[in-house]
């Protein structure tokens, strides 16, 4: 049996988080691939074939025969294709923070040569790749786009914790600075992606497509959250309403919840930032953001109201919060509204425990609540199911009820227990 050989292109992925690592691993199955990250600790663990984000298994590492990892810039020197997958978060004032993107661009620009391809996957507002990144590349490299190198954009669609909609199974959008580049980039991605690649006519279209995917979802969830507030006042169960409405064929299946993370809670602000730059004043998008950003405070107010209605005294109240990650079945706490809820409660009440099967104690040394290593053997006045981890689904209502005192408040944020 002959050993398989790597395909000709040498591909470097810059940024090895939830987006970059799966991509580097996939390319490493077929190409000489380099996973580059500034974080030496991250590189050291990846060299030992361990992913602290729990997205890549040992078997995934094993299949990626041609992958290498490095935090040394000079190791990028012999690569032809550079794919940038760094985070694009928000500043405190809710405007785009492009520091990591610009830094990654500067690094890549120093190593690109004639016939290189540089592709961006980081989520940005339309125009970022060509108006901010491209001038930097040309200035540093002394090369000219289309004459010397190809510029591309292919938005990431990774869903952390999702073992069904994985990288290789998701339709990939690709765009490029010219038609030849589009064919090349399409061919590169098609070599690792099963569904047919979807090509678009410009980089701005690809940037815009990604940003509206998350903006649309954000707005739909905001509508559900606002309906929750209305129906709570009317003493109507929101989930019973939704179950009835879903019997119509064209009713969209969304539900209330805490909207955080590095995509849905961030991307709408990127779009509205650009809209304001061109003289527009977006209203609906920002209204949706206001609703979703306000949900932790709303949930806390509801819990306090329920406590008063049940005449539960506030002295020495014990809280247990189940889950603090931004979504189910992952250990990502970036922009987590569940974590924000934990913080709000722990600032108002003293005895607050939190358990999340995906989190470790050293992540929370500076917080006021207590992070538990396992489900406790004691009872609480208030239990909040904040994240729909499979772990909590498997626990079921009976085991969760054992954590509650006789007079209690059980708040199920995502209707995990389906108790209508």
Q: 417 to each of 239, 243, 244, how far by Cα in Å?
A: 12, 15, 18
* Among 389, 225, 239, residue whose Cα is nearest residue 302: 225
Count of C-beta atoms within a 10 Å radius of residue 248: 7
What residue has token string 């990774």? 158
386, 411 Cβ separation under 8 angstroms: no
SS3 content of the chain, % helix, strand, coil (to 5): 40, 15, 45
- The residue annotated as part of the active site, out of 52, 133, 263, 330, is 263
The yes-or-no answer on residue 263 being catalytic is yes
Place of tokens 């992070």: 371
Cβ atoms within 10 A of the Cβ of 279, count? 6
Q: How far apart are CA 395 and CA 389, in angstroms?
A: 10
Closest CA to 173 of 192, 188, 153: 153
Q: Are 154 and 206 in contact (CB under 8 A)?
A: yes
Q: In 125-281, where does DSSP find H-type helix?
A: 128, 134-141, 179-190, 203-233, 238-245, 267-277
Residue 253, C-beta contacts closer than 8 angstroms, at least 6 positions apart: 246
Q: Which residues does the annotation mark as catalytic?
A: 263
């Amino acid at each position: 049996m002959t050993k398989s050989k790597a395909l000709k292109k040498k591909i470097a992925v810059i940024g090895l988080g939830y987006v970059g690592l799966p991509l580097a691993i996939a390319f490493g199955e077929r190409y000489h691939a380099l996973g580059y990250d500034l974080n030496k600790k991250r590189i050291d663990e990846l060299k030992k074939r361990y992913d602290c984000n729990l997205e890549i298994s040992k078997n995934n590492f094993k299949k990626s025969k041609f992958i290498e990892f490095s935090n040394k810039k000079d190791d990028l020197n012999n690569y032809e294709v550079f794919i940038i997958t760094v985070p694009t978060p928000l500043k405190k004032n809710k405007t785009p923070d492009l520091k990591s993107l610009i830094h990654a661009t500067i690094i890549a620009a120093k190593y690109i040569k004639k016939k290189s391809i540089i592709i961006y996957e980081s989520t940005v507002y339309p125009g970022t790749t060509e108006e901010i990144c491209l001038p930097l590349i040309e200035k540093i490299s002394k090369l000219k786009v289309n004459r010397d190198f190809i510029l591309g954009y292919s938005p990431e669609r990774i869903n952390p914790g999702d073992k069904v909609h994985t990288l290789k199974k998701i339709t990939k959008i690709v765009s490029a600075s010219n038609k030849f580049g589009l064919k090349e980039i399409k061919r590169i991605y098609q070599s690792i992606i099963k569904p047919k690649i979807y090509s678009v006519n410009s980089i701005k279209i690809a940037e815009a497509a990604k940003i509206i995917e998350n903006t649309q979802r954000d707005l739909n969830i905001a509508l559900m959250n606002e309906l929750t507030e209305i129906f709570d006042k009317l003493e109507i169960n929101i989930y019973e309403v939704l179950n009835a409405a879903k019997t119509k064929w064209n009713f969209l299946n969304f539900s209330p919840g805490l909207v955080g993370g590095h995509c849905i809670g961030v991307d709408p602000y990127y779009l509205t930032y650009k809209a304001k730059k061109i003289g527009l004043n977006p209203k609906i998008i920002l209204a949706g953001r206001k609703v979703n950003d306000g949900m932790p405070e709303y949930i806390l107010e509801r819990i306090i109201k329920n406590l008063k209605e049940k005449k539960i005294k506030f002295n020495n109240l014990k809280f247990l919060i189940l889950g603090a990650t931004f979504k189910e079945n992952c250990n990502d706490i970036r922009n987590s509204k569940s974590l924000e809820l934990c913080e709000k409660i722990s600032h108002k009440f003293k005895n607050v425990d939190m358990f999340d099967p995906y989190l470790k104690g050293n992540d929370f040394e500076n917080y006021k609540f207590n992070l538990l290593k396992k489900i406790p053997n004691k009872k609480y006045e208030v239990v909040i199911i904040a994240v729909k981890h499979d772990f909590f689904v498997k626990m079921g209502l009976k085991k969760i009820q054992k954590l509650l005192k006789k007079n209690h408040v059980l708040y199920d944020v995502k209707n995990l227990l389906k108790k209508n």
